[in-house]
């Protein structure tokens, strides 16, 4: 017994591996992720080296650069100790806006004209739900049905040396590469490129 198409419908041809050939750098669209802006802005960045010449670049920065202080002790305020909290919120928002302007200005100096930096603003160290947030954000940047020539860039993770943040980012990047079937390239992180004096 032989199975034949009914009604004269043609069987769609499956794409051959040769159809997913490596594209020239000028035709590539990069979706990159880093834990913080250090990987983008430091001199001699491996991430910037890989991004040069790409058609367009979307970089997702997972965490804000500033260290987050631990929670303050909770106390009861008397009526005379009341504090106007709205003023502090405005100052914090202004600081974030200033950071965004500074980041865009420094990124413009890199010579990557089609670079779009997206800040997710997660707190470091990344918590249990952060991986899902990263996957969702990366999915938005990759798109529903990515065109040929989309490459995912993630930090190289060395066993035993990766911190919590980088391990969470690595798991999210691997999930996106597997689900979308797009090539995953790795860049050396700052910690991996510093030469020990010993």
Burial letters for 102-115: b for 16+ Cβ neighbours within 10 Å, e otherwise? ebeeebeeeebeeb
DSSP string covering 13-45: PPPPGGGGPPPPGGG-EEEEEESSTHHHHSTT-
In terms of pLDDT, which residue wins out, 22 or 142?
142
pLDDT value, residue 25: 60
pLDDT value, residue 196: 45
pLDDT value, residue 24: 64
pLDDT value, residue 43: 80
In terms of pLDDT, which residue wins out, 50 or 82?
50
In which band, very low, low, confident or very high, does the pLDDT at 41 lie, cut at 50, 70 and 90?
confident
* 70-80 average pLDDT score: 48
pLDDT value, residue 118: 93
pLDDT tens digit sequence for 49-65: 888 877 899 999 999 87
In terms of pLDDT, which residue wins out, 35 or 13?
35
What domains can you pick out in the chain, each with its CATH number? 24-64+90-193 (3.40.50.10320)
Give bridge partners of residue 182 from the DSSP assignment: none
Please, is 184 exposed, middle or buried when counting C-beta atoms within 10 Å of its C-beta (0-12, 13-18, 19+)? middle
pLDDT value, residue 26: 64
pLDDT tens digit sequence for 19-37: 455 656 667 899 999 999 8
Q: Supply the mean pLDDT for the chain.
A: 75
In terms of pLDDT, which residue wins out, 87 or 105?
105
The pTM for the full model equals: 0.69
Among 57-66, 80-89, 106-115, 189-198, where is mean pLDDT lowest? 80-89
Q: Cα separation of 59 and 51, whole Å?
A: 10
Among 17-26, 110-119, 131-140, where is mean pLDDT lowest? 17-26
């Amino acid at each position: 017994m032989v199975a034949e198409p009914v009604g004269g419908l043609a069987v769609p041809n499956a794409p051959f591996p040769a159809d997913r050939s490596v594209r020239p750098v000028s035709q590539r669209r990069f979706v990159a992720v880093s834990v913080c802006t250090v990987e983008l802005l430091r001199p001699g960045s491996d991430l910037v080296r890989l991004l040069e010449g790409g058609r367009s670049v979307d970089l997702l920065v997972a965490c804000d650069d500033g260290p987050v202080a631990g929670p303050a002790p909770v106390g009861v305020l008397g009526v005379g100790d009341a504090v106007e909290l709205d003023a502090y919120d405005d100052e914090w928002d202004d600081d974030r806006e200033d950071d965004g302007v500074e980041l865009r200005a420094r990124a413009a100096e890199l010579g990557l004209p089609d670079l779009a930096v997206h800040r997710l603003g997660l707190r470091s160290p990344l918590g249990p739900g952060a991986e899902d947030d990263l996957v969702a954000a990366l999915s938005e940047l990759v798109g529903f049905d990515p065109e040929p020539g989309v490459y995912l860039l993630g930090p190289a993770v060395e066993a035993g040396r990766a911190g919590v943040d980088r391990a969470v980012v690595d798991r999210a990047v691997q999930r996106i590469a597997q689900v979308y079937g797009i090539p995953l390239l790795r860049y050396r992180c700052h910690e991996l490129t510093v030469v020990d004096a010993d």
